[in-house]
């Protein structure tokens, strides 16, 4: 049996838009929603704008998500947000394992797995990002890299919870360093 999923458009804002810009974007998108019915929409702003957008998209088909979360519920993790904080801010979706966090900030497969588990425990819909570096693709290792990331992320996650996860694949074209 083949399951068919609706297409998903997820707009990850990264480190862009002030609160005023976020509110203006939300207003413009709300005006265009009548024409956007063939897919699911998720907006992923910087964390400080999640509540503004969650309020702006109440009773619309637009989901609001967070760009990341920490696997712990609380503690001395300066600048981090927990799954509970993400939900409390109004998000229903969260990115986990984004290529920048993996390759620029050094997040390991174990860290990604912990974050995925935390998102699922909190009832959030995770968008699991997987992908290889361009050099890995050029050496024919893309399948090996992506399979390893998937196996690590879903280790110990039951099929029922795994089914709530959306996946995004990418090839990181350049390696960045801080």
pLDDT at 22 over 50: yes
Predicted confidence (pLDDT) per residue in 64-74, tens digit: 999 999 999 99
- Strands annotated E in the chain: 7-12, 39-44, 62-66, 93-96, 125-133, 166-172
In this structure, what token pair is assigned to residue 170?
């990418």
45 backbone dihedrals φ, ψ, rounded to 5°: -85, 175
Enter the pTM of the model: 0.84
Q: What is the rounded CA–CA span in Å between residue 36 and residue 103?
A: 34
- Residue carrying structure tokens 């912990």: 114
Q: What is the rounded CA–CA span in Å between residue 122 and residue 82?
A: 9
86 backbone dihedrals φ, ψ, rounded to 5°: -60, -50
Q: Give 14's pLDDT tier (boundaries 50, 70, 90).
A: very high
Q: Residues 148-175: what's their mean pLDDT?
A: 69
Query: How much is the pLDDT for 66?
Result: 97
Vertex 172 angle, CA 10 and 145, to 5°: 100
Could you tell me the CATH superfamily of domain 7-172? Aldolase class I (3.20.20.70)
Domain locations along the chain: 7-172
Select from 43, 66, 47 the least CA-distant residue to 56.
43
């Amino acid at each position: 049996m083949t399951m068919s999923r609706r297409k998903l458009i997820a707009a990850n804002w990264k480190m862009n838009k002030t609160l005023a810009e976020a509110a203006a974007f939300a207003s413009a998108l709300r005006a265009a929603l009548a024409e956007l019915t063939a897919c699911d929409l998720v907006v992923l702003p910087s964390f400080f704008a999640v509540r503004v957008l969650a309020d702006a998209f109440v009773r619309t088909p637009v989901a609001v998500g967070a760009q990341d979360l920490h696997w712990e519920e609380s503690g001395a993790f300066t600048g981090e947000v927990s799954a509970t904080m993400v939900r409390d801010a109004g998000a229903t979706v969260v990115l986990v394992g984004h290529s920048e966090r993996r390759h620029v900030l050094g997040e390991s497969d174990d860290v990604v797995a912990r974050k995925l588990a935390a998102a699922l425990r909190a009832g959030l819909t995770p968008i699991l990002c997987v992908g290889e570096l361009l050099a890995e693709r050029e050496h024919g290792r893309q399948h090996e890299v992506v399979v390893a990331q998937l196996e690590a992320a879903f280790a110990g996650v039951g099929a029922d919870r795994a089914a709530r996860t959306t996946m995004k694949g990418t090839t990181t074209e350049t390696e960045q360093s801080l």
